Structure 1
C-alpha cells in the first residue's frame, strides 16, 4: 500500500513538476510578447511600385528601430507583399493582427489597399501609419482616429505641381488617369486647382490598373484634345512608360507640356536624365536637401543598395521613429492596448527627425511639413549618380496641405 501510495504521490509530483517546467517557456514567451512592439510593413514588394516602397521602405523602418535604440522594449519588423490588391492586403492585415499580434501597419502602398486596411485598423483598434498611398481621403471622408498620413497626398501634389503648371500658362488640361482610388483623387484635386485658376479640363481617359505597358492610344487621345498640358495621374512604371512614349511621339517638341503629378526620384533614375530632364515634380524629401537628410541617407544606404530613398521611404523612417517615441512616453502596455491612444499621443508630441525636420500631426491625422517643387537636372548639370533635382520653390508646412476645415474629416468639429 505504501509503495502504491508513494508511487501515486510520485506520479502526481512528477506531473506537477512537468506542468511547472512546461509553463516556464510559455510564461517567458508571453512576457516577451507583452513587451514587444510588432510593426508590419505592408507594400508592393514585386510590382510597379516596388522601387518607391518595397524592400527600401522596410530598410528605412529597421533603420528607425536602430536609431531609436534599446529603450526597455523590443521591436519586431514584419514584411509582406500585398501585390497592389485590396483583398490580398486585407487578408494579410487581418492575419497579422489576429494571429501574429501586429500593432502597426506601415507604408501600405496603393490607395485602394490603404483604404481597405484603414477600415481594418479602425475595427481592430491598431495603428495605421501610411506613407506611400496618395489619396487625400485618408485625412478627409475616410479619416479615422487610428490613422496618420505621413508623407504626401493628392491635394498637396495638385497644389504644388498642378498649380505651378497653370501659373506657367498651362490653362487647358487632358488627364491620363490610373483607374483606381489614387488616380481618381489626383485627377479630382488637380482639376479643382486648374478650374479655380480659370483653366479648363478638356477630357480624361482611364487606364487599366494594375497597369498596361502601351499608352500610345491614350496619348493619341490626349494630343487630339489640343490641351496644352497632359496631366499624368498615375505613378510608378505607368508614369515612366507614359513619359518615355510621349518623348517617342515627340509631343513635347510640339509644345505640349507633360505634367507628372506624382513622380519620384526613383522614377527619374529609371528614365535617365536624357529623357527626364526639365520635368517638374513635387516631393517632401530629397536625400541631398541638407546635412540631416544626407546623414540619414548615409546611415541607411548600404541596406537599400542599389536603390536610394525617396519621400515615401523617408516617411516610413520618420513615422516609425515618432511612433516609438510615443510608445516610450506612454508605455508599451498602453500602446499595445489601444491604437487610438497611441495615435493621440503621437499627435500630442511635436515631430523631429533627419528626413523632415521639425513638424506636427494635425487632428485629422495629416502630418504636415514643407513640400518642394523640383525640376529634373540636365545631364550636364548633374554631378553624379542620383544628383537629379534642383529646387524651384518651397511651400510651407502650413500651406502645403489641404486646410483641416475643408477635408470633411469626422474627427474635426466645426
Structure 2
C-alpha cells in the first residue's frame, strides 16, 4: 500500500495542477490511477492548496459515509465537518489538525477513534513540484484489529504479571507458613515416640510421622518446582557429571540401606559437561524414584553412556516397570502411573524434566532389558 501511495504522489508531482486531475492526465492514465486507488483497502484523498477535494476513492467515501452522489469538489474541511466530525470520539483534536493540512509542508499522522469502535490511522503527504506544494494526499488505514490485538496482549501481560505475583505469594506460603508447622509436628512426634511404650499408640504416632514426612516432602518439592518454573536460564560451568551423581548417592545412602538395596555404580572416568550444580537435584530425584519403586533386597544401577555430543545418564531399577502407554506422561507433574504400595506427589520427575529442559537436554524412560523394571535417563551436552 505504501508503494501505491508513493506512486500516486509521484504521479501527482509530475502532472497535477490546481485543475481537476482528470483534465491533466490522459484518459488512460486517469483510469489506470483510478483502478489502482480502488484496488486498495485504504481510503485515499487528494486536495489542492485551497483545500478543495480533487480525487477520492470509494474506500474514502465508505470510511466517512459520504454518499456516492455527493460532490467531492468542495472544501476539505467543510466535507470533514459535514460527514466525519460527528463520527469521531475526539473531533476537536482532529479538527484542529485538519485545519492546518492545506498549509502543512511536512508529513503528518494521527489515530482516529470512531464512536462505532473503528480505529483508523491517517498519514498526510504534501505533493511538491519544483519546490512548490501543489496539494496533499491523505491515506486512511483501518487498524481496529491491530489495536484490539495490542489491547488484548497488554491485558494478558497484566494478568500474567498478577498470576506470577499470586504464584510467588503461594510459594512463600508453602515454604514458610506450611513448612514451619510441619516441622513442629515432626519434632513433637519424635519426642512422643521416645516417651510412649503402648504399642497401639506407638503405631498411631508412627503413622503420623510417616504422613508428616510425606507432607514435608511435598511442600519442599512444590517449592522447588515453583522456583524452577520462574527461572528462564541457568549459569553453566564445566563440571564432571559423575561427581554430582556420587554426591546424590551419598545423600540417599540411608534410603538404600533401609530397603537393603544394592547400588551398582558403573560410572568410571571423567564426563565433562557444561552444567549447573542444580543438576544434583536431577540425580537425587531419579535415585529416590528408583528406591521407591524397587522391592527390598534388589539393586539399582547407575551409569553414563557416550551419546554423540551428549552424555546419557541412566538409572536402572528392577521394580514393576512402566507400561508403554504411561511412558509419555511420567515426567508430567502429579502424574504417577504406578501407585502400588507407594505414596507420593508426582513432582520429583517433573523437577527432573524442568532442570534438564533448562540444560537443553532430554529425558525418557525405557524398559529394563535385564528383567522387569525401568531405565530412567537424561542427557546433557558435553563440554
Give the alignment's TM-score, normalised by structure 2: 0.23
Whichever of the two has the greater Rg, that structure is: 2
Report 1 or 2 for greater relative contact order, CA contacts < 8 Å, sequence distance ≥ 6.
1
Give the alignment's TM-score, normalised by structure 1: 0.21
